[in-house]
Structure 1
Amino acid sequence: MKNYFIALIFIMCPFLSNQVSAQIKLRLPSILSDHAVLQGSSECKLWGWGPGAETVKIVCSWNDKDTISVPIDARCLWETTIKTPKGTGPYKIEFICGKQYLKIQDILVGEVWLCSGQSNMEFNYKWGLNDPESLNTCENDSIRFFQVEQDYDEYPRSDCKGKWVLCSKNTMPDFSSLGYFFGKKLFNAINKPVGLVGAYWGGTCIQVWMPKESFENNDMKRFLSNIEPYGWAPKGGSLLYNSMINPISKYNFAGVLWYQGEANVADCSSDYSQLLSTMINEWRNKFANNFPFYVVQISPWNGYSGINAALLREQQELVSKTVSNVGLVSVADLTDDVADIHPRNKKGAGERVADYVLSKQYHTQSVFNHPVIEAWKIEGNKIVINIKSLDKLKTKFKEASGCFQIAGEDKLFYTAKVVKNVKNKIVIESNKVVHPIAFRYCFTNDAIPDLFDSNGLPLLQYRSDNWK
């Protein structure tokens, strides 16, 4: 028996030796992979995993004479920052750790945007886009997608599933249509590669996209207590941030496109701004990037109760006025059917967001400003409204009517008619209100605006009252 054990030890020694000497694999996150787009002329992080106490050597082909050496810590993590070039590529990046070697290639340098939210951001070609011919003109190797696989977790993850793909007839139909049309117009205007990262999930409330730290104070904790579960998407706080946003928080983005809010209309229509502003600030903190944040207002739909959708749109606009570097884009006039919560004109929506970004951020377009109501006064039974606009407001209909409402002391609103429309001034009245004290414009769930500036942008919804 003694001889048997001695023999067994000799047999096992080579295997034990291999296990002791075997190194932990050198590994990169999924977003650092072939065909990736890196933010140009900026500092970008590279990170990953490997054997502790070893060193990773990194060589970027745009500066192949400079080798970067990065130590791997006791947690088997490594991270460094590189400067990306002005050129667009393609490039490659090599990673060497002892005898281990990794290479990511066909890397472009350009503009990288994160597209996030719920189903109107997720809406893609296969859902029934109203521009079917767009598939025949989508091929473009300089527009690339990284779609984060939908998943959820109670705890923050360090990696996600997904891969970079080139824009083609095979890949475009699966990616956010709003994101695609935004990226296409951006590329055509600046002639630089565009990387679009999609992290979205239909039917999700904003709370699932917010990191745990968002709810640390008691005032924010209340937003976690009234979430009712349902079967087609997770709704618990931070679940999607943990699995779909945290893994890409080290990536450098030019900005964020956010189209969400429908799932919060019922329960947070009057305090959504607190949630959205907190999320924006937390994302910027987690990403270590004060990136621009562009909010697409939720679209008209007749399935909401009361005027909750109008209230939530008001909250979205409030964030654009109170949080720095936040833009608001209305797509209410692009709604083709108020009985469908998913407007199909995503081309118009994506291009409108691109117009805003090109104007505000890249300065390649003319001024992008929605006309807004800036002052008003009562004159007898009429209300005189001053509009801040580029030019005289025009209407797509024969007469601008149905969107304005007037109320008297009884606080009941009646449809008003426009009796005068000169540059920057509109006069409205209603024969049912003798002594008006308040008015509203498009302040219902499903109102489609009927007044437009010379740049084609609709007048934003408005209410002069703050009645509940």
Structure 2
Amino acid sequence: MNCPPTKQLLAALLMLASLNILNNRQAQAELKLPAIIGDHMVLQQGQKNPLWGWAEPGEKITVSVNGQTHTTTADAKGKWKVTLDPLKVGGPYEITIKGKESITLKDVLAGEVWICSGQSNMAWPVAASNDADLEIMTANYPKIRLISVPQVGTQEPQDTFNGKWEPCTPQTVANFSAVGYFFGRQLYQTLNVPIGLIDNAWGGSAAEAWVNRKRLEEEPAFKGLMERWQQTEKNYDHDKSMAAYNKRLDQWKTAVKKAKTAGKPVPRRPRPPRNPLTGNQRPSNIYNGVLHPTIGYGIKGVIWYQGESNASRAYQYRKLFPFMIQNWRDEWNQGDFPFYWVQLADFRSEKPEPADSDWAELREAQTMTMSKLPNTGEAVIIDLGEAIDIHPKNKLDVGKRLARWALAKDYGVKIVYRSPQYKSMEVEGNKAILTFDHVGGGLDLFDINTPVGFTIAGADKKFVNASAKIIGKNKIEVWSDAVAKPASVRYGWADNPILNVQNKEGLPLTPFRTDDWTGITAGKH
């Protein structure tokens, strides 16, 4: 057929459109599952578990497992969902999903499922932690299952991701979250049930990136935060930033040649710009790209290690952190599931005299969250940090301290699980008498037999280093000859405090202050 050029073009476009429609229909018709649902997965035992996927709109879907069968119909967008009755702990089970096509999920276990979330200290892999060689070579736990969610930052909610469930082996554990693995391994060794671990941590991430944007925009407390980001979204030009970077790169290459010719040190290569619009700090970016594809999957709870990126806005974190937890709980529709976090470790240079600290204020905000929400808990690791490395390598003890919370609160194991915590203060002359809760077998000391880490101030708010003495199972006396009438006592109130109080089980005393004087991060958004 001879057609004028314009008609040939039109015919070609119509053909392409027809092919696209056909391909879309075929894609819609294909029976699909999200990555979180697949072979080797662990379903949360003792509760009903949703399973979902996509098929042709109106297609009848039947899901069968272990004698139970559930039927549903795909909606107008092709999505379908069923809810399985509780499965007995163990397995392996096979799950058959039938529509016009059929999928069989194999080697499915029923046990305990936990999400391992936060920023780089949760993402930190087994391979980079203490005794990595020994830990990896012995990681043969076929009933511990692992899945990792890739880092995708977007404002568009994602339905799935590139990942799959795998049994725990030396090969699969090496790049998995060390804190998550050690937590899960302790649960497995104690409970002897299958464990499923979902690692979705993203290094450097800010808490606001993990929250539904609509919720943030509706909350007046975050007006300043959202306005700041709206300006960034309006004004940032990544192409312009890249052009400026390429110019600096060319200048650097020229400088390198000159330096080599002159026998001088080579200058440092400039860093390329990070696009904040696709990064790990923009509100809701991680919620949409990382968390959303897993929301609704049956879980027991969450462990969380984050806060470094929010330390400069610690007062805001008092509201933001519990707000984030509640957002997750609301959208998961599983009630107040357990949520346990790691308090920030000691980091940065030690200071001989009392000083303000944004990290201390962030730790305080974390501790406050336990009184704001039920089924929450804090693993204190103020004794496990490294002054020159924001990523302490001892992840084993971090995982164990989180596991104590879960074992005691969720599985009925009779162990001490909580760090001692400040309760009250009485003043007698120039001495402050402090009383503590959750002391376990009693207050104790590490390394030396005198309590260290306390500072004291009068009404002038001028803190000095203080002397201290344990005077009972749950009491400490604090004083300084420089303060006649104490108004406040602080403990561990520094980026990297020198301290040594713990309980007899070895859990460190939670850093605290008895005052509520305005801190250095107040009002920062």
Shift of 1:427: 1.4
Contact 1:36 1:107 in 2 (8 A): yes
Aligned 1:305-316 pairs, distance under 5 A:
306-316=356-366
Shift of 1:448: 4.9
Find out whether 1:160 has 2:161 as its counterpart.
yes
Shift of 1:143: 0.5
Shift of 1:255: 0.2
Amino acid at match of 2:302: V
Shift of 1:206: 0.4
Contact 2:119 2:306 in 1 (8 A): yes
Match of 2:51 in 1: 46
Aligned 1:28-427 pairs, distance under 5 A:
28-60=33-65, 62-63=66-67, 66-98=68-100, 100-130=101-131, 132-215=133-216, 216-226=218-228, 231=274, 233-266=279-312, 268-290=313-335, 291-302=337-348, 306-335=356-385, 337-388=386-437, 389-427=439-477
- How big is each residue's C-alpha offset from its partner over 1:173-197, in whole Å with a ceiling of 9 and x where there is no partner? 1111000000000001111000000
Structure 1: gaps (5+ residues): 3-7
Q: What is the SS of the residue equivalent to 1:171?
A: helix
Shift of 1:111: 0.4
Contact 2:70 2:83 in 1 (8 A): no
Q: What is the SS of the residue equivalent to 2:106?
A: strand
Give me the whole-angstrom Cα distance separating, in 2, the residues matched to 1:231 and 1:312. 26
Amino acid at match of 1:142: K
Give me the whole-angstrom Cα distance separating, in 1, the residues matched to 2:75 and 2:487. 67
RMSD, aligned CA: 2.4
Q: What is the SS of the residue equivalent to 2:318?
A: helix
- How big is each residue's C-alpha offset from its partner over 1:302-342, in whole Å with a ceiling of 9 and x where there is no partner? 2699411111111111111111111121111222x222111
Contact 1:258 1:293 in 2 (8 A): yes
Q: What is the SS of the residue equivalent to 1:457?
A: coil
Shift of 1:437: 1.9
Higher mean C-alpha deviation, range 417-426 or range 406-415 = 417-426
Higher mean C-alpha deviation, range 432-441 or range 348-357 = 432-441
Q: What is the SS of the residue equivalent to 1:178?
A: helix
Distance 1:316 1:419, change over 3 A: closer
Shift of 1:131: 5.1
Shift of 1:409: 2.9
Find out whether 1:27 has 2:32 as its counterpart.
yes
Distance 1:218 1:422, change over 3 A: closer
Give me the whole-angstrom Cα distance separating, in 1, the residues matched to 2:174 and 2:498. 28
> Higher strand proportion, which one?
1
Q: After the TM superposition, which segments of 4 or more aligned residues of structure 1 sit over 6 Å from their partners?
A: none
Structure 2: gaps (5+ residues): 3-10, 237-272, 519-525
With structure 2 as the length reference, what TM-score do the two structures score?
0.81
Shift of 1:401: 4.0
Give me the whole-angstrom Cα distance separating, in 2, the residues matched to 1:260 and 1:295. 8
Q: What is the SS of the residue equivalent to 1:341?
A: coil
Contact 1:355 1:365 in 2 (8 A): no
- How big is each residue's C-alpha offset from its partner over 1:129-168, in whole Å with a ceiling of 9 and x where there is no partner? 3554212221110001110011111111111221111111
Give me the whole-angstrom Cα distance separating, in 2, the residues matched to 1:225 and 1:261. 22
- How big is each residue's C-alpha offset from its partner over 1:347-386, in whole Å with a ceiling of 9 and x where there is no partner? 0010111011100110123242321222222222222222
Distance 1:255 1:458, change over 3 A: same
Give me the whole-angstrom Cα distance separating, in 1, the residues matched to 2:287 and 2:116. 14
Report percent identity of matched pairs: 33
Contact 1:391 1:424 in 2 (8 A): no
With structure 1 as the length reference, what TM-score do the two structures score?
0.91
Q: What is the SS of the residue equivalent to 1:270?
A: helix
Amino acid at match of 2:170: K
Give me the whole-angstrom Cα distance separating, in 2, the residues matched to 1:19 and 1:373. 66
